[in-house]
Amino acid sequence: MTKVMNVAMIGGGFMGKAHAMAYASMPMFFWPAPAIPHRKVVVDVTDGMAEEARRRFGFDEASSDWRAVVNRPDIDVVDICTPNNVHAEIAIAAAKAGKHIICEKPLARTVEEARAMTEAAKATGIIHMVAFNYRRTPAVALAKKFIDEGRIGKILNFRGTYLQDWSADENGPLSWRFQKKIAGSGAVGDIGTHVVDLAHYLVGPIAEVIAMTKTYVTTRPIQQGGVDKLGASEKSADVERAPVDVDDEVISMLRFAGGAVGSLEATRNAWGRNNFITLEIHGTKGSIHFNYERRDELQVMFADDPADARGFRTIYTGPAHPYGGGLWPIPGLGIGYSETKIVECFDFFSAIASGKQPSPNFEDGLLTELVADAMLRSGETGKWETVS
Ligand code: SOE
């Protein structure tokens, strides 16, 4: 009989929605499931918010006391879907209580916090994972398969972008994502780390970076209410403004430990770009291109194709590709954000069932944090910074 595991989800916002949906759906896609996640308790800031999240996301219980919840003997998994400032405190408490942990990205605000979380997790032998979901897109996993099989040869160059526009309007509110004490950094931590995670997954560790960081919107209207307001909601030109103390953009060059070179750009201020995660990877025997806005597709060029047939081909992911057995039976039916979260959930519970750490785990999250930190340092010094 497939084991039922009780989940305590801390945070009932946008990410809470994505994770709750994945808990409900994962066994419907991947059957037999590695475990059945049971939505036991959801925690939010107030009792009222927690109760609303309970009803909406289908949990048995609601609470506003995460400390009590992570120490409950009937909880198997702690899921951290909060803003970044409480990741470390919750994860360390959950690790000490012996709970398996899935934590939203970025792992932490700083390298110090990420290191403390990693040490706590390793000390108690729990399974731990960071929710960098984009590597769970079947087309990205297919790119990884081609690279691992040597189909595009030795990797020479990686180009990664993550462009959005939800913060381009200067009257968008000063949410926690623009406050260093809560977020740690801006575009670097929020979305640049997704690209770093993809670069680590596909190419290998980044050893050195040089980066420019820039803040375009230096003050924003003070946010009314505590909810994470992404994008268009409640823009206001006539409320008091307060300073933004994080970056709006990062542009970085990369040197990989394995010899490849690369670049990364990330901003949430690029009008017209919604979730524009692009990867282009050149190897000695071919190239790969991926754009998340067309996430069913992987474009691949194999240099050993006959000269008159050379060019990028488009592969629509489906049953023949990674995770295809669990997802939809025909290519092109449509992979979405939800599917990436369902696959992430499957990989997390598979890791618990097998007792083997998944990737990215907290150690991988710490490595990503080290790269982000080097980019932020380089943004100040203007020099190449070693990832250490
Ligand atoms: C905002 O930039 C955000 O919600 C990120 O925090 C997520 O990680 C990304 O997947 C979608 O956009």
Local structure of 199: helix, strand or coil: helix
341 lines ligand 1 (CB under 6 A): no
Domain range holding 123? Answer: 4-134
Q: Does 156 have pLDDT greater than 80?
A: yes
Give the dihedral of Cα atoms 280, 348, 26, 331; nearest 10 deg: 20
CA of 12 relative to ligand 1 center, distance in Å: 15
Ligand 1 atom closest to 190 (CA) = 6
Q: Does 32 have pLDDT greater than 90?
A: yes
What is the model's pLDDT at position 247? 98
- Same domain membership, residue 313 and residue 169: yes
- Same domain membership, residue 323 and residue 303: yes
- Same domain membership, residue 39 and residue 143: no
Give the dihedral of Cα atoms 333, 142, 164, 81; nearest 10 deg: 90
Q: Does 174 have pLDDT greater than 70?
A: yes
What is the model's pLDDT at position 226? 65
Domain end position, chosen among 116, 134, 152:
134
CA of 198 relative to ligand 1 center, distance in Å: 15
Q: In CATH, what number is assigned to the domain containing residue 15? A: 3.40.50.720
268 lines ligand 1 (CB under 6 A): yes
What is the model's pLDDT at position 90? 99
190 lines ligand 1 (CB under 6 A): yes
Q: The pTM is what?
A: 0.97
- Same domain membership, residue 336 and residue 312: yes
- Same domain membership, residue 140 and residue 258: yes
Q: Does 23 have pLDDT greater than 60?
A: yes
Distance CA 195, CA 187 (A): 11
- Same domain membership, residue 77 and residue 41: yes
Q: What is the total count of domains within the chain?
A: 2
CA of 311 relative to ligand 1 center, distance in Å: 33
What is the model's pLDDT at position 1? 83
- Same domain membership, residue 202 and residue 289: yes
> Once rounded to an integer, what is the mean pLDDT over residues 311-322?
98
What is the model's pLDDT at position 230? 73
24: which residues sit within 8 A by CB, 6+ positions away? Answer: 39, 58
CA of 190 relative to ligand 1 center, distance in Å: 6
Convert the pLDDT of each residue in 33-61 to its tens digit: 999 999 999 999 999 999 999 999 999 99
Distance CA 21, CA 14 (A): 11
164 lines ligand 1 (CB under 6 A): yes
Convert the pLDDT of each residue in 193-249 to its tens digit: 999 999 999 999 999 999 999 999 999 999 877 666 676 555 666 789 999 999 999
Convert the pLDDT of each residue in 349-370 to its tens digit: 999 999 999 999 999 999 999 9
Q: In CATH, what number is assigned to the domain containing residue 208? A: 3.30.360.10
Q: Hey, CA dihedral for 20, 36, 339, 194, is it positive or negative?
A: positive
Average pLDDT, the chain: 96
Domain end position, chosen among 89, 115, 134:
134
CA of 102 relative to ligand 1 center, distance in Å: 17
Two tokens, residue 185? 């950094």
CA of 44 relative to ligand 1 center, distance in Å: 20
DSSP E strands: which ranges in the chain? 4-10, 36-43, 61-63, 77-80, 100-103, 128-130, 155-163, 206-214, 219-221, 241-243, 249-256, 261-267, 276-283, 286-291, 297-302, 313-316, 385-386
Report the residue among 190, 276, 292, 293 best suited for mutation to probe ligand 1: largest number of ligand atoms under 8 A from its CB: 190
Domain end position, chosen among 72, 107, 134:
134
- Same domain membership, residue 344 and residue 250: yes
Distance CA 188, CA 190 (A): 6
Q: Hey, CA dihedral for 259, 209, 340, 69, is it positive or negative?
A: positive
What is the model's pLDDT at position 223? 87
- Same domain membership, residue 190 and residue 213: yes
- Same domain membership, residue 192 and residue 175: yes
